[in-house]
Amino acid sequence: MANYIPPVQGKISQIIDVIVLLVLAIGALYLPLFLGLAGSAQTSEVPENVTWDALGQNATMVEKWNELGYATATDAAELITSRFDYSFSVLNLLVMIVVVIGYYFIVLRFSGKEYSEVISEKFGDK
């Protein structure tokens, strides 16, 4: 098998390659932020009559909240009542599973093809 000779890439083309990679990476981080999809879903249900008791805090907990700078129950109420929403749809979970497995499938399949070429050129055809 003849050795593969790669084409020479021009400087502008190299710069474009790097820019493409960076735009995609920055997009992956910022797109969910811009679309408001980033971050976990947290909700907070503060009771109408806010007291340390109503928030389920014992004397030691109250003492610690005070030491942390939260002088009253109202100051700490939102923090204490804040909870993640772990409800999810099975469909979303299935989509995630398909995306994860699909991703590895694509990568391993293409890698396998490329690897065979590398070994064949490095060690010669069997």
Partner 1 sequence: MSDTDITSTEMDGMGPGGTKVGLARVLGPAHIWGLGVGIVLVGEYMGWNFSVGKGGAYAALLACWFAGILYSCVAMIDSEVTSTVAAAGGQYTQAKHIIGPLMAFNVGLYLVFAYTMLEAANAITFGFLIDTVAGMTGHEGLDQRPFIILAIMFLAWLNYRGVLATLTFSLVITAFAFCAIIALFLTTAVFMSDSPLRHAELMTDLPYGWLGVIAAMHFGLWYYLGIEGTCQAAEEVRSPARSLPFGTLAGIMTLLIAATLTWYVCVGLMPWEYLGQAGVPLFDAARMSGSVTLMVLLGIGTMFATLASANGCINDASRAWFAMGRDHYLPDWFGAVHPKFRTPYRAIIFLVPIALIFALGAPLDQVITFSILSGLLGYTFMPLNVILFRRKWPVDTIKRGYEHPFHPIPAIILLCLCGVTFFAVFLGYGSQLVAMLSFYIIVSLWFHFWRYRFVRRAAQFTMPWPRPKGY
Using CB under 8 A as the binding rule, the residues of this chain from 54 to 113 that contact partner 1 are: 57-61, 64-65, 67-68, 76, 79-80, 82-86, 88, 92-93, 95-96, 99-100, 102-104, 106-108, 110-113
Query: Judged by CB, which is closer to partner 1: 54, or 61?
Result: 61
Cα–Cα distance list, 25 to 19, 20, 22, 29, 32 (Å): 10, 9, 5, 7, 12
3-state helix/strand/coil string of 12-81: HHHHHHHHHHHHHHHHHHHHHHHCCCCCCCEEECCCCCCCCCCCCCCHHHHHHHHHCCCCCHHHHHHHHH
Task: Decide whether 48 or 56 has the Cβ nearer to partner 1.
Answer: 56
Least separation in angstroms between residue 26's CB and partner 1 is 6
Closest approach of Cβ 109 to partner 1, in Å?
9
> What amino acid occupies position 108?
L
- Nearest distance from C-beta of residue 62 to partner 1, angstroms: 9
42 - beta bridge partners?
84
Residues 43, 62 contacting (CB under 8 angstroms) = no
Q: How near is the Cβ of 8 to partner 1 at its closest, in Å?
A: 8
Q: What residues numbered 2-31 form the site for partner 1, per CB under 8 A?
A: 3-4, 6-7, 9, 14-15, 17-18, 20-22, 24-31
| Residue 44 in contact with partner 1, rule: CB under 8 A | no
